[in-house]
Amino acid sequence: MKYLFEYNWSLRNRWIDWCNHLTVEDLFQERSGGHQSFIRNLFHIIDVEQRWYARLTGRKILRLDCNHYNSLELLSELSVSIVPEIRTFIDKEIYEEKEVTFETKDRQTTIICTHGEILRHMIAHEIHHIGQLSVWAREIGKEPVSANFIGQNLM
């Protein structure tokens, strides 16, 4: 699982770098699907990761304002700020069996699952939204960042 997190973080960084070559208009342009723009989609990925991590560790969930993170530099700083704690958690935590219980606002239900399930969901969530960036890249005639795990020297 550790390697898939490392893969996602590496891919996220490459997408942030890739976005540095977009015009401001392309970066913020409302699009169909995902979270409507390159910058909002990247923010969503990072924000959801920090929210799930807070649930896992019992910390207060930060309510981040997407409008504050209105530059790639700020998004990169946010991403860099959360990765070390999560990396330490997945390196040391015995998470497969440990359960967490939380209530969802939208479903008005209580969910009980293991830390391992949440970590796998976090991985899948990022891969899903990164895929949207690839679709948009092709729509504007640009080559997307390669999503290939092989050759990334992560293992």
Consult the annotation and say whether 121 binds a ligand. Answer: no
Consult the annotation and say whether 128 binds a ligand. Answer: no
- Grouping H, G, I as helix, E, B as strand and the rest as coil, residue 99 is strand
H-helix segments, the chain? 2-19, 24-28, 38-57, 72-92, 115-139
Consult the annotation and say whether 35 binds a ligand. Answer: no
H or E element at residue 113: strand 110-114
For the beta carbon of residue 94, count every other beta carbon within 10 angstroms.
Answer: 8
Residue stretches of the annotated binding site for a divalent metal cation: 44, 125, 129
Residue stretches of the annotated binding site: 44, 125, 129
